[in-house]
Amino acid sequence: MYNRGVTKFLNSLTVLFIILYTIASATVSLNRYWQHQTAYYDFGVIDKAIWEVSRFREPLVDHHDLGDKNISIFASHFSPSVFLLSPLYWLTDKAEALLFAQSLLAGIGAYIGYLLARRQIKSKIAIFALIFSFLGYVGLQNGLISEFHDTTLSVLPLMVIFWSIFQKKWVLYFISLIILLGLKESFAGLGVGIGLYILIKDRSQIKIALSTILISLLWGYLALKIIIPYYSGGFYLYESSSLPGDPVNFLRAFFEPEMKVKTIFYSFLTFGFLPVFNPAILPAIFENFLERFVLSPFSSRWDLGLHYNTPLSPLMFIGALGVFQILEKMKKRRVVILLSIFMILSTLILHRFILRGPLGLFYHPVFYEQNKYSQYVDEFLEKVPKEGVIYTQNSLAGRLAHFNVKTFRKDYKTINPDHIILDLTDGQTENSFSPLRHAQVVELKNSLLKDPNYKLEKYGNELYVFSKI
């Protein structure tokens, strides 16, 4: 009776944790949006593309690195699977729908992980520990609260893929694989890692494994060498021009600077280092680090911030689950319990004391007080004209993505906008004015005050609308 009661309690606790986590991540994400902490790059770009497809139009977006004219989003990333969310805009025109859906899909992915773990292992505390680490991983937390990204959406298809592998549901597996690959061109490498996972885990499924690798490589080649260059004019915007040319520098690129080592260490620590002892999953895990640390030229991908770590949460989960399976077969019940407690404590300590997991904002009252300081900007945006070409800054363009919005260029006359909207209120980050700086936007305002082709309407101390005469 006692064991049955404990089992029921831990099962209920796990499901309750998934529900509360989903609510928390959605709440923080939505409030950050309401506080104008999202922008056109990247949220507005993908929101604009999904909105256009929901209206049965080509997904043309503004991208200052790809010219002054609107261009297909496929010139930047090949991510057709995101358009599966387009029907949301048949029900509402609120961009918040995407942010809520992102958190909900991650929660569903975690619940699939819970169901999978229940089928594979008996220890209820181990199941809870797996889910606690899965969702508590700071890399996933950052992905869910940092706007909306195709990479973050990978959590659900990845979990369906692994569910299908364990249950040998191969039709569902290949459907999920195509959806995963369609979220981002670079997921071709992740697909290869999944194929190697199957090959190492179960040699009897060699055809499935090789088919996965072949499909992934073909998808990556088509996306990177044919589709994206076709739309972009012959190049891939995110290609690195300084790849290591020898084994020594290759290894150094993996571990230098120290930030990379910390990212690897904290990722494995969250899951009690158990994935290290599951060789089948390691190719997929280290493909993620390879792509970010060696093949990418951007340092913003090196730490646990933003969204680049989100695929690691399902991968580490599967790696740890496999080790628990082995330990249970060996009847190491006490070891399973101790490792489970270690995982829970590690995740909790990393979240609360070392990495300061961003979902801590959910229970921080000061976070919600910021909303009232954004109301004047909301009222301003309701009044600004929406017709014609709207030329504005990164922080405001994200809210106007469903209209014909353009972000700043070096010379506004190249765009010839109908309306120019500026918010020069103190306290904003430089990213608010990207790709310009605050000083350059002040110069823009001064130029517009002298331009006879535009008239000024002022809505506050530092809120400006210049409309073409």
427: its two tokens: 């306290």
Query: Is 215 contained in some domain?
Result: yes
Closest CA to 149 of 186, 114, 112: 186
Query: Is 412 contained in some domain?
Result: yes
Q: Assess whether 134 and 249 both reside in one domain.
A: yes
Share of the chain above pLDDT 90, in %: 91
**Residue 139 has what pLDDT?**
98
Contact assessment for residue 38 and residue 398, using Cβ atoms and an 8 Å cutoff: yes
139: its two tokens: 């890399």
- Of 296, 329, 363, the residue that ends a domain is 363
Q: Assess whether 403 and 354 both reside in one domain.
A: no
Burial class (CB in 10 A: 0-12, 13-18, 19+), 34: middle
21-24's contacts with Cβ under 8 Å and 24+ in sequence apart are: 21/107, 21/110, 21/135, 21/359, 22/103, 22/104, 22/106, 22/107, 22/110, 24/359, 24/362
Query: Is 250 contained in some domain?
Result: yes
Query: Is 68 contained in some domain?
Result: no
Q: Assess whether 291 and 420 both reside in one domain.
A: no
- Of 318, 338, 363, the residue that ends a domain is 363
Q: Assess whether 195 and 276 both reside in one domain.
A: yes
Transcribe 138-187 into DSSP letters: HHHHHHHHSS--TTGGGHHHHHHHHHHHHHT-HHHHHHHHHHHHTT-TTH
Q: Assess whether 420 and 330 both reside in one domain.
A: no
Q: Assess whether 393 and 338 both reside in one domain.
A: no
CATH code of the domain containing 443? 3.30.110
- Number of structural domains (the chain) is 2
Q: Assess whether 172 and 140 both reside in one domain.
A: yes
Query: Is 317 contained in some domain?
Result: yes
Q: Is-cis flag, bond preceding 417, omega within 30?
A: no
Query: Is 372 contained in some domain?
Result: no
Query: Is 198 contained in some domain?
Result: yes
Q: Assess whether 357 and 388 both reside in one domain.
A: no
Q: Assess whether 280 and 384 both reside in one domain.
A: no
**Residue 2 has what pLDDT?**
46
Integer Cα distance of 277 and 274 in angstroms: 6
Q: What is the mean pLDDT of the chain?
A: 95
278: its two tokens: 């599951």
pLDDT digits (tens, 9 = 90+) for 257-284: 999 999 999 999 999 999 999 999 999 9
Q: Assess whether 131 and 202 both reside in one domain.
A: yes
**Residue 50 has what pLDDT?**
98
Range of the domain at 251: 2-37+77-363
282: its two tokens: 């390691």
**Residue 1 has what pLDDT?**
42
Contact assessment for residue 135 and residue 21, using Cβ atoms and an 8 Å cutoff: yes
CA 389 to chain CA centroid, nearest Å:
29
Q: Assess whether 230 and 255 both reside in one domain.
A: yes
Q: Assess whether 272 and 400 both reside in one domain.
A: no
- Of 363, 391, 426, the residue that ends a domain is 363
Query: Is 419 contained in some domain?
Result: yes
Averages of pLDDT over runs of 10 residues in the chain (469 residues) are 78 97 98 95 96 98 93 97 98 98 98 98 97 98 96 98 98 98 97 98 96 98 97 90 79 92 98 98 97 90 96 98 98 97 98 97 95 92 96 96 95 96 93 93 97 95 95
